[in-house]
Amino acid sequence: MTLELWAAFVAASSILLLIPGPTVLLVVSYALGQGWRTALPMAVGVALGDFTAMTLSMLGLGALLATSATLFTVLKWIGAAYLVWLGIRLWRAGGTLEAAPRTDAVSAAKMLGHAWLVTALNPKSITFFVAFLPAFLDPRADFLTQMLVFEATFLVLAFANAFSYALVASKARGLVGNPRAIRIVNRTGGGLLIGAGVATVTMSGARS
């Protein structure tokens, strides 16, 4: 694994994590309703959920790589196209983040479990990783090493993203509801995702 490939993975993962989805909306909802105390349990729950989904996806990809290198290469190109498609979609997205405050009193453990369930048991999570990860995997390098590096990197980023969203939502509520701010994030992220998709194709071609 090259430093350039890892950097592209970090960039793409960071932007993808910023995109408001079910997990982000859940984190923001709890933070809006119950404040900064939700940040740590929600961030831990999100990281555990991503760990579950990512591990299942990586094991499936490892089996695919062992079965057919050609099919795995095709999946890499699909993954790169997926990044570009997500970037275009994000660029064209609106500037809204609709999250209703959750005021129901629950323990930190229940918040953690809720975040884990929403993140890990969403079928889209495993599908997402199956489409996303192959663009950054090198079939000629040790799969286990790459799996450990990419998982550790993504989980750190996922924890930091959820924690940051919770803090921002609890301290600067106007920002998460500001269409202009969300639109800027979407367009910046969309452009970076398109670049990451193109970069993975370029680097794959350079290694061939």
Per-residue pLDDT at 206:
46
How much is the pLDDT for 44?
93
| Across 93-101, average pLDDT | 60
**pLDDT tens-digit series, residues 110-121:** 889 888 988 887
| Spacing of C-alpha 5 from chain mean position | 17
What's the pLDDT score for residue 153? 93
Q: Mean of the pLDDT values across residues 179-205?
A: 67
Q: Which pLDDT does position 196 carry in this prediction? A: 67
Query: How many CA atoms lie within 13 Å of 67's alpha carbon, on the beta-carbon side?
Result: 8
The answer to whether the beta carbons of residues 49 and 120 sit under 8 Å apart is: yes
Say if residue 183's pLDDT is above 80.
Answer: no
**What is the structure's pLDDT at 157?**
93
pLDDT at position 205, please? Answer: 47
- Is the confidence at residue 126, as pLDDT, over 50? yes
Q: Is the pLDDT of residue 175 over 70?
A: no
pLDDT of the residue at 159: 93
Tokens of 76: 């890499």
Selection from 83-87, 92-96, 133-137, 163-167 with the highest mean pLDDT:
163-167
193 compared with 13, residue with greater pLDDT = 13
User: pLDDT class for 156, splitting at 50, 70, 90?
Assistant: very high
Q: What is the mean pLDDT of residues 159-176?
A: 78
pLDDT digits (tens, 9 = 90+) for 16-67: 787 777 787 788 888 877 777 888 898 999 999 888 888 888 887 777 766 7
**Whole-angstrom Cα distance, residue 106 to residue 153?**
30
**Are the C-beta atoms of 75 and 133 separated by less than 8 Å?**
no
Domain boundaries, the chain: 3-207
Residue 171 burial (CB < 10 Å; 0-12/13-18/19+)?
exposed
15 pLDDT more than 90 = no
More confident residue, 53 or 181: 53
Rg of the chain over CA atoms, in angstroms? Answer: 17
